[in-house]
C-alpha cells in the first residue's frame, strides 16, 4: 500500500527510553523534539524521575530539546517545570509550523533533528512531512481518550503494512528498522 508509506516511522521502538542518544549524537544529531503524553509519561502525568533523568542526560551529551505538544500551556508547562527545556504548546501537529519553530529554538536543521512520539497521524506524519527523522514509540499507558483510541485502530492498519514492508526488505537484504 504505497499511499501509507508517508505514515511509516523511520524507527519503531518499544520505548523512548530505549533510544541510544549517545550514538545519535555521534552520528551528528543535535536536537530532539518530543511529544509528551504516552511518549515520555502517561497522559496528563507530571514529569517523573525517569523523564527528568532523560533530559539531564540529553543536556550532558550536548543535545538541545523541545517539547512539542498539541496540549494547552498549563499541561505542557507543568511537565516542563521539572525537565527545563524549550516547549511549544497548541502546536497544531501534524502541521509543519511547530516542528519548524522547534528547530529554530534549538538552532538545528532537518538533518540534525529527530522527533520522538507515540502517534502516527499527528507525531510521525508531521515530522516526516517536515523532513525530520522519526521515532515512533509504543504508548506508555493503554488508557487513552476515546478520540485517540479510535485513531489507534487506524494506526494498527498502518503498522501492519509497515511491518510487512520491513519483513519484505529483510528477505531481500534491506535493513530492518523494527526493534
pLDDT one-digit tens code per residue, 109-138 = 999 999 999 988 889 999 999 999 999 999
Predicted confidence (pLDDT) per residue in 28-41, tens digit: 999 999 999 999 99
Could you give the CA distance from residue 6 to residue 9 in angstroms, rounded to a whole number? 8
pLDDT reported for residue 178: 42
The DSSP code sequence of 8-68 is: --SEEES-GGG--HHHHHHTT--EEEE--BTTTBSTTPPP-HHHHHHHHHHHHHT-EEEEE
- pLDDT of 163: 72
pLDDT exceeds 80 at position 165: no
DSSP string, 152-179: HHHHHHHHHHHHHHHHHHHHTTPPP-B-
Q: How far is residue 129's CA from residue 147's CA, in Å, rounded to a whole number?
A: 23
Mean pLDDT of the chain: 88
Pick from 151, 142, 89: nearest CA to 120: 151
Give the mean pLDDT of 7-32.
Answer: 96
Residue from 92, 38, 34 nearest 68 by CA? 34
Per-residue pLDDT band at 101 (split at 50, 70, 90):
very high
The CA distance from 69 to 72, in Å, is 8
Q: What is the model's pLDDT at position 23?
A: 97
3-state secondary structure of 105: helix
- Assess contact for 132 and 106: CB atoms under 8 A: no
The DSSP element (H or E) to which 102 belongs, if any, is: helix 96-106
Amino acid at each position: 500500500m504505497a499511499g501509507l508509506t508517508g505514515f511509516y516511522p523511520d524507527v519503531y521502538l518499544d520505548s523512548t527510553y530505549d533510544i541510544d542518544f549517545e550514538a545519535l549524537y555521534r552520528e551528528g544529531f543535535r536536537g530532539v523534539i518530543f511529544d509528551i503524553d504516552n511518549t515520555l509519561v502517561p497522559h496528563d502525568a507530571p514529569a517523573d524521575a525517569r523523564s527528568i533523568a532523560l533530559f539531564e542526560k540529553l543536556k550532558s551529551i550536548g543535545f538541545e530539546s523541545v517539547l512539542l505538544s498539541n496540549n494547552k500551556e498549563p499541561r505542557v508547562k507543568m511537565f516542563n517545570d521539572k525537565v527545563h527545556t524549550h516547549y511549544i504548546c497548541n502546536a497544531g501537529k501534524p502541521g509543519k509550523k511547530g516542528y519548524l519553530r522547534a528547530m529554530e529554538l534549538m538552532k538545528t536543521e532537518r538533518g540534525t533533528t529527530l522527533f520522538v512520539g507515540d502517534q502516527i497521524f499527528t507525531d510521525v506524519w508531521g515530522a516526516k512531512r517536515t523532513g525530520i527523522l522519526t521515532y515512533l514509540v509504543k504508548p506508555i499507558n493503554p488508557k487513552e481518550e476515546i478520540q485517540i483510541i479510535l485513531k489507534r485502530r487506524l494506526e494498527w492498519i498502518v503498522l501492519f503494512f509497515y511491518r510487512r514492508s520491513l519483513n519484505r526488505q529483510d528477505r531481500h537484504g534491506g535493513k530492518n528498522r523494527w526493534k
